[in-house]
Amino acid sequence: MQKPLLTAIGKELSVRSTKAAATGEGVLDERTFNTIEVDRLFDAVNYADTIAGQATLYRSLAHPLSSIEAITAKQDAVKELDSNADLRARIEALVHHAATHEEEFYRLLFGTFVGGFGDPKGKMETGGYGHKTYRHGTQLMLGLVKGAHTLPAPESPYLRARLDALKAFGSTRSYALMEGPAYLTERAIRTKTEKWLLTPAIKFRPTLFKPRLIVALVIAMGLFLYYAPALGISPYAMPAVMVFLLPSFLLYGPVVGGFDRDSIIYPLRDGYRDSRDVQRALEALGQIDELLSFHRYAKAFGSSTVLPTLIDSERHALVVKTVRNPILGKGNTDYVPNDIDLNGTRITFVTGPNGGGKTAFCKTIAQVQLLAQIGCYVPAERAEVSVADRIFYQVPESNSLVDREGRFGTELQRTKAIFFASSPRSLVILDELAEGTTHQEKLEISHTILGGFYQVGNNTILVTHNYELAEQFHKRDVGLYRQAEFVHGSPTYRLVDGISRISHAHKVAQRIGFAKADIEKHLVERGYGGEGATSPETGASGST
């Protein structure tokens, strides 16, 4: 279950505290979340002004929608913001105003006020008794209500509902307390409408300057001086009395400020922090800012972007034209786009030499699917996507020292979890299968696993160097086959039809400086391979 937005932000003002669901419990699980680099995707898409907007966007990426109706509603809201420049500008002004007061509001909710003589140490500590923070912080919520009432009603139900939520906050008890006046009675803090006319109460003013109290103190001092002779105080003793009384005025700030802080501000802020009304208003702010972030991301990307057409299908489908990676393609006019049609294919093999862009392409598919399911633009000229109930991405994993099964067993456990959690509506991407065993066993087990996924009927993409496996399925006329294209030994970063039977492993070794020549040079330079050494190539002593 997701934490409420305000709780997720917390006193650390964190926007990345939301965790993905466990395998099989949500669209995205934690391993897939990390593998497809959602943190980097967030950095690319994030153009939100407010902390609430950033936290909302991050939460959307961790927990994407699984309802075509919910995604369509967000898309319609984005479309209206794109087409209605006046409405967008006015909403942007509302959000920008909120951003100027937002941090102070969180400081009010989570911070500590150390008093007039205190020394603030951290971001959530402030000098004084909280009056300034209270005044400035509550302006966030007051401004949201006022701003929402000045906006015309949007046509999009999603956007209209969020603005209505901001307006509705103006009718809540929390709003009435923020707007003031608030009264401290013997039993509780009351709003003006809650307080009975004759109930004794202290009217809260978020400032140390209390006119009535100051006037009362001045009158009391005047009366004391006037009646001092009648009280038997000699005029000659008055200077000594004044020397004694004047320092007591220095206690005005600590006494009054400390009382306000402990008896009024802290109880009020605790109520705001726990208020569902405050939570709903902040959620609405975050969701509005998220929509603006989608709009800005599309404008800033630098290449074609589109809101995907959503396909209502019982099996997963994805068709994209000139798609670019949402992270690497941003602002990169040289990024090579690709096309892919995964409508009805079930099994797709992606083969080719290392460094040809296979992994980047498969991450692009997963990231595009994720962006589509939060209502965002995707970097393509055309995109048709069904709603996936699960998005899985498996990569080779190393076993830990406490894992009895070894590397093969560790990976197989992950594949098992994915298989049993997937359905025909799932998108599954597997980067190699059955690593850590013999080639023949790898071939047999991989064939069985892929056959199982094929029977489930979801879209399964296998990134592999195992061309024999791909050929087994190709002989049965099953699946789609794409290979990384190389021209004159160099990658074009395009995926073309076919099955690749080469890996270019030696070229990768040369590129990183660990090919045969590099190893031999090191041995010669260090004087290794002397008398008694055996060459693995000849089995004889000495060099070959």
Average pLDDT over residues 94-111: 95
Residue type present at position 515: A
The closest of 204, 325, 343 to 263, measured between CA atoms, is 204
Above 60 in pLDDT, residue 530? no
Residue type present at position 53: G
Above 60 in pLDDT, residue 334? yes
The winner for highest mean pLDDT among 121-135, 382-396, 480-494 is 382-396
Average pLDDT over residues 124-129: 85
CA 5/CA 18 separation, integer angstroms: 9
The closest of 540, 386, 356, 385 to 463, measured between CA atoms, is 356
Q: Summarize pLDDT for 219-265 with one digit per residue, the tens.
A: 766 666 666 677 677 676 667 666 665 666 666 668 888 888 999 99
Phi-psi region of 494 (alpha: psi -120 to 50; beta: other; left: phi over 0): beta
CA 544/CA 532 separation, integer angstroms: 13
Show the domains of the chain with their CATH numbers: 26-172+275-298 (1.10.1420.10), 205-266 (no CATH), 304-511 (3.40.50.300)
* Phi, psi torsion values for 410, nearest 5 degrees: -60, -45
CB 430 within 8 A of CB 394: yes
Confidence of residue 43 (pLDDT cuts 50, 70, 90): very high
Residue 200's contacts (CB-CB under 8 Å, 6 or more residues apart) are 185, 186
338-341 and 382-386 strand pairing? unpaired
* Phi, psi torsion values for 65, nearest 5 degrees: -75, 150
Task: Tell me what pLDDT residue 174 has.
Answer: 97
Confidence of residue 441 (pLDDT cuts 50, 70, 90): confident
Residue 441's contacts (CB-CB under 8 Å, 6 or more residues apart) are 434
Give the H/E segment covering residue 442: helix 439-456
Mean pLDDT of the chain: 88
Above 60 in pLDDT, residue 533? no
Give the global pTM.
0.87
CB 371 within 8 A of CB 378: yes
CB 178 within 8 A of CB 105: no
